[in-house]
A and B are shown apart, each in its own frame.
Chain A
Amino acid sequence: MSRLGNIFYLSVLFGALWGAVWVIIITLLALFISGLTFQPQVTAGAIAGLVAAALLVFQPPAKRTLAMRALAGFAFLLVLILASGAQPMGLPLSTYTSGQFIFVVLMAVVTVQSIHLTCTNLGPGHEKRYNVEVLCLRFIKGFGLVAFTIAVALPFFVMVMMSLKNQQLLLSNPLDFSIDFGQGFASLFRSYIELFTQYHFGTYLMNSALVSVATVAITLFFAVPGAYAVARLRFPGQNFLSRSILLIYMVPMIVLVIPLYAIFSQLGMRNTLWGLLFVYPATTIPVALYMLQGYFRGIPAELEEAGLMDGLTRLNVIRKITLPLALPALASVALYVFMIAWNEFLFAFMFLDNVDLFTLSRGIAELNSSEVPRQHLMAGAVIATVPVLALFLWFERFLVAGLTAGSVKG
C-alpha cells in the first residue's frame, strides 16, 4: 500500500514523542501552578500522540483542516484518558477538576498543533529523501526550541517564584510554586520590602547605578578620542595598536586582583567606590575603543575633511561631525559597558567591606549565608537582574548590531 511509507511511520513516531513531551511539560506546569502531586502519564501521552498523528497524517496535507485537527485532538483526549485509567495527570479527575480539564485540553491542542506543524505539506506519497530530512529536521528544531526555552527559563522562573514564597513552604514542598494572590501586595512582596527596609538594598541599588553610569561616562570619555585616533589619524604604531588593543582583554582579571588588592590596600583606595571606578573603566576601555574605531572607519572621511576645510579644528570635527554620526555605536557601547559594570562581581567582592559602599553583586554575596532565608536571596537576585535585563531587552537591536559589528567580550 503506497500510503504508508517512511513519512507516515516517522510522523507517527514524532507524534508519539510530541505526545510524551507535552504530557510531561504540561503536567509539570500544572504541578508548579497548583502544588498538587501530579504525575506525568508518559506512556499514555505517547500512545495518544501516536493515534492523533496517525489520524492526521493519514489525510493528504490539503485535507488537514481545522475540523480535522479538532477531531485528532478529541482522539488524543480520549486515548489519553483511557490509557491512563481516567487519571490523565496521575490524580483522579475528581480533584481540581476544572484545572485538570484546562490542562488536558491544553495538552491536546499543543500536541496536535505540534504534529501539524511538523508534518505541514508532507504526507503519504512524499517519500523522497529530501522530505524525510525536512520532516526529521522540523521535529528536531521544534523539540530544540522547546528544550532551549525550558532550560533557559527554568532558573529564572525558579528565581522569581522562590522570591515570592517563604522558607517553610519552600522546604515542605519545593515544587509548589502556586501563588496566593489573596494575601495582598505587601505580603506577596514581603521579601522585597524587607530587603529595601532592613538589608540596605536601596543603597546597593544606588551604588550599582552610580558606579555603572560613571564607568560608562569615563569609558566613553577615554575611548572616543582614542578610537578616533586609531581610526582616522596616521601615526607610527597605528596598525599594531588597532590589532593588539583586544589583547588586553585576554588578561585574566584574577591575575590582576592580587596586585591591585595589595596596592589599593596600601594606598587606602581599596574600600572605596573610587577604587572600582579606577578598575572598571580600565577593563572596558579596550573593547569600547575597538568597537568604536570599527564604527568610525565606516563613516566617510569626506564629511570630516569638509569640516576641516571649513575651518573646524580636529576636536570640533569630532564633536560636531563624527560623534553625531556615531550615535548608534555610542549607544550600544554605552549599554554594553553598563552591563559589564553592573554585573561585575570579582572586584566588588574583593574590594568593598563597608555596607554603605556595597554594589548589588556584593550585597547579594552577603545574603548568601544560611542565616538569610532563601526568598531574600532570590529577591535580591531578581532586583539585580531586572534593571539590566529590561535595559538590554529594550535596546536589544542596538546592542546586537553594535556587538556583532565590533567585538565580543565574555
Chain B
Amino acid sequence: MPTPDTSNQGPPKGLGPLAKREMRFAYLLLLPTFLIVLSVVLFPLIANVWISFKPVTLGDLRAPAILVNERLMGDLEAVGDEADIRYRARNSSRKSAIADVVFTDTIPESLSVISVDDRCVADGQTLSCDLGDYEAGQREDIIVRVAATQAFLDAPENIKDTEPAFTFEPENILTNGDFTLDNFRRVFNASDFWTVLWASMYYTIAGTVGALVMGLFAAQLMNITFGGRAFLRGLFLSPYVAPVIAVALAWVLLLDPGPGGTLNALLIQLGVIDGPISFLGQRAVEINFLGLSFDFPVALTVVIIFEIWRYFPLAMLFILARMQSVSTDIYEAAEIDGATPLQQFRFISLPQLMGIMAVLFLLRFIWTFNKFDDIFLLTGGAAGTRTLTVNVYEQAFAVSNLGAGAAVAVVVFLVLLCFSVIFFKFSPEDDA
C-alpha cells in the first residue's frame, strides 16, 4: 500500500489540475457577460473620453462621400465632331478628407475616346482614374474628349446611362488625429456652468433625502396591519413601476398652468391661489421670511418633488423588509419596561434601520445624480432645472455638438468618481 508523501506538509501551492479546470470553466461561464459589459459599458466609457477631445458635431457622423456630376459639353452633330465629357467631382464633407479616390466609368460604344485626363487611363470604352486624396470640400473637373461616330448620330445615347463608380476611403471623423481642448473650454467657460452644477447638487441631495424620509414614513404606515394593506402597498409601489414617460407626462398635464391644468384649477377653486402658477416653467419666486428675502426655486423644487414621489417606494420596500426581519421580542421587552412608542422608534427601530438607510442613501444619491429622463421629460432642462446630465443631452443633441456633450459627460463621470471615493472611504462595514 503506497504511503502518502509526508515530507511536504501544508497546503499545496498553486492550482492543481482540478482547480485549474474549475477556473477555466468559471471564466468560460463569465465570458459572455464580460464581453457584453466590455462592449456596451467599458468601451463606450473610454470612447466618450476620446470623443470629448475631438471637434465632432452631430452632422459629422454621416460619412463623407464623393458626389459627381457628369455632363456632355459641346454639340455632336456630324461624324468626327468632338466634345468634352466633364465629370465634376466633389467631397461632400466640408470637414474631413477622403483618401484614395478611384473612379471608373464606361463611355458609350458610340463615342470614341480621343484624349483623357492625365490621371486617367482609357482601356477601350472603360475609363479609370486614380484621383488621389481629396481635401475637405475639394472639387475638381475631369475632362474626357470624345468624338462622335455614325452610331451615335443614328441613336444618340445619354452618357449618364452608365453611372460613374467611385471607390474611396473616407476619413473617419471619430478616428482621425484631430484633437482639441475647445470642448472642455466651452464647458467650463459657459456662464451657467456653476448654476448647472449647483442645480445638480441641490436636486441630488434634496431628492435623495426626501425619498428616504418619505420611504421611512411610508414604511411605518405599511407596518401596521389593517384591511386593504396589500392593495395600498401595491398602489404605493406603482409610481416606481410605471413607465417614467407615462407618469412624467401625467404630471406635466396635472401641473399645466394653461387652461386644462388640473392642479391650478383645483387650487383656484379652493381659493388658495388667485391666478395659475407655472409650476414647471417658473424659475424662482421671491419669498420674504422674517425680513430676509431669498429666491425660492419653483421648477427645481417641483422636479425634486416628482423625484421623491417616484422613488420613495423603493426606500419603503427595503426599509419595510428590514423592519419585518426585526424580532418582536425586543419591542415586547421595551413595552414592559414602559418605553413609549416614540422612544421605541428612536432607540430600537432607528438604530436597526441605520444600515439599510446608509446603503439606500449611497445608492439613491448616485442614481439621482445620474438621473436624466425625469427632468428631461418634465421641463426639458428649462427654468433652472438643467442638471449636468440634462446638459449632456443639451450640448450633444440640442446644440448638436457631440464633442461638448461628451466633455460634460466626462465631468459627470469625474464628479461621480469623487462621490464614490468619498462614500467608500466613509461607508461603515455593514451587512445590508
Contact residues of A with B, CB < 8 Å?
24, 28, 31, 37, 39-40, 129-130, 133-134, 137, 141, 144-145, 148-149, 151-156, 158-159, 162, 167, 170-175, 221-223, 225-226, 228-230, 233-236, 238, 241, 248, 250-263, 265-266, 278-279, 281-283, 285-286, 289, 314, 339, 342-343, 345-346, 350, 360-361, 364-365, 368, 374, 377-378, 380-382, 384-385, 388-389, 392-393, 396, 400, 403-404, 408, 410
Contact = CB atoms under 8 A, between A and B. Distances in A.
27 contacts: A129-B340, A133-B342, A141-B224, A153-B235, A155-B239, A155-B254, A156-B247, A171-B259, A175-B262, A233-B23, A234-B23, A250-B416, A251-B45, A252-B416, A255-B412, A258-B392, A259-B50, A266-B174, A278-B36, A283-B41, A346-B372, A346-B373, A360-B243, A374-B260, A381-B250, A384-B246, A408-B314
Interface of B: 19, 22-23, 25-27, 29-30, 32-33, 36-37, 39-41, 43-45, 47-48, 50-51, 56, 61, 63, 172, 174, 217-218, 220-221, 224, 232-239, 241-247, 249-251, 253-254, 259-262, 265-266, 269-270, 309, 311, 314, 317-318, 321, 338, 340-342, 360, 363-364, 366-373, 377, 389, 392-393, 396-397, 402, 405-406, 409-410, 412-413, 416, 420
A400 B234 CA distance: 11
A389 B29 contact: no
A295 to B, nearest CB: 15
B30 A155 contact: no
Given A37-B269, A137-B341, A234-B19, A155 B247 contact: yes
A408 B318 contact: yes
B363 A408 contact: yes
A152 B190 CA distance: 39
Given A155-B250, A254-B389, A230 B30 contact: yes
Contacts of B318: 404, 408
B250 A403 contact: no
Main secondary structure of the interface of A (DSSP, over half): helix
A350 B405 CA distance: 14
Top 7 closest pairs, chain A to chain B, by CB = A410-B367, A282-B40, A381-B246, A252-B370, A259-B47, A225-B29, A259-B44
A102 to B, nearest CB: 21
Contacts of A400: 317, 321
A155 B251 contact: yes
Given A174-B262, A364-B243, A410-B314, 14 more contacts: A156-B247, A158-B254, A172-B259, A225-B29, A229-B30, A234-B26, A235-B27, A255-B412, A257-B392, A263-B47, A365-B245, A388-B241, A389-B238, A410-B363
A392 B242 CA distance: 9
A374 B260 CA distance: 10
A130 B29 contact: no
A364 B249 contact: yes
B340 A254 contact: no
A385 B246 contact: yes
A381 B249 contact: yes
B234 A254 contact: no
Given A149-B232, A170-B260, A159 B314 contact: no
B403 to A, nearest CB: 9
A404 B247 CA distance: 24
A259 B45 CA distance: 8
